[in-house]
Amino acid sequence: MSKRRLMFLGPPGAGKGTQAQRLADDLGIPQISTGDMLREARRKGSELGRKAGEFMDAGELVPDSVVIGIVKERLEEADAQNGFILDGFPRTVAQAEALAAMGVELEGVVNIRVSQAEVLRRLGGRLTCPGCGASYHEEFSPPNVAGICDKCGGELVRRPDDQPDAIRQRLESYQAKTAPLIAFYDRLGSLIDVDGEGAPSLVETRIREAVD
């Protein structure tokens, strides 16, 4: 099971982060989430974080050159040498081409399919921990103690881009710029379609069966 190079694709709120984390823990390889990396850069107050934040809060994609640079650096780290799960990258055809130019050949692109109604339900109830990045849902996967992170005890918040206007813009960006990757990876023979509706454990089982 070593040296697995997978990517999770899907609209905002499809469950990419939830499922990528579960599978990465299981396989003992890192989950590399560009969304988490950009939010971390913001928390640290770096120049990159400040620039990216404006795009993120508006629900727009951060420019390719910025994201490609941080992924390239991350993939050079020691823990990524035996495999990884990319979560939320690539998100444009230019990013996919840049990944290929880095010499990375993905063995599987897990495309999590969910309806728009489900996306709205999931993002509308999401709570995240600014401290450790853990994600919960008020109704579907609540923390043990309301408002408190099970993993680190931090106070849970709503992401600024989970407001209705930003969600609308994220869905538009997804359709215009990210959805074309489905055909892109299908042509390469690496697309794995997975039904993302149902309980997280059910989706997890489907993904396990699809990538094993």
The distance of closest approach from Cβ of residue 132 to ligand AP5 in the complex, given in angstroms and rounded to an integer, is: 14
Nearer to ligand AP5, 107 or 172 (CB): 172
**Which one from 51, 72, 121, 159 is the annotated catalytic residue?**
159
User: Is residue 203 at the binding interface for ligand AP5, with CB under 6 A as the rule?
Assistant: yes
Q: Is 10 one of the binding residues for ligand AP5 (CB under 6 A)? A: yes
The answer to whether residue 55 forms part of the interface with ligand AP5 (CB under 6 A) is: yes
Residue 14 engages ligand AP5 in binding (rule: CB under 6 A):
yes
Name the one residue in this structure whose structure tokens are 């996919």.
96
Which of residues 82 and 141 has its CB atom nearest to ligand AP5 in the complex?
A: 141
141 touching ligand AP5, by CB under 6 A: yes
- Contact between 74 and ligand AP5 by CB under 6 A: the answer reads no
Angle at 43 between CA 172 and CA 178, to 5 degrees: 20
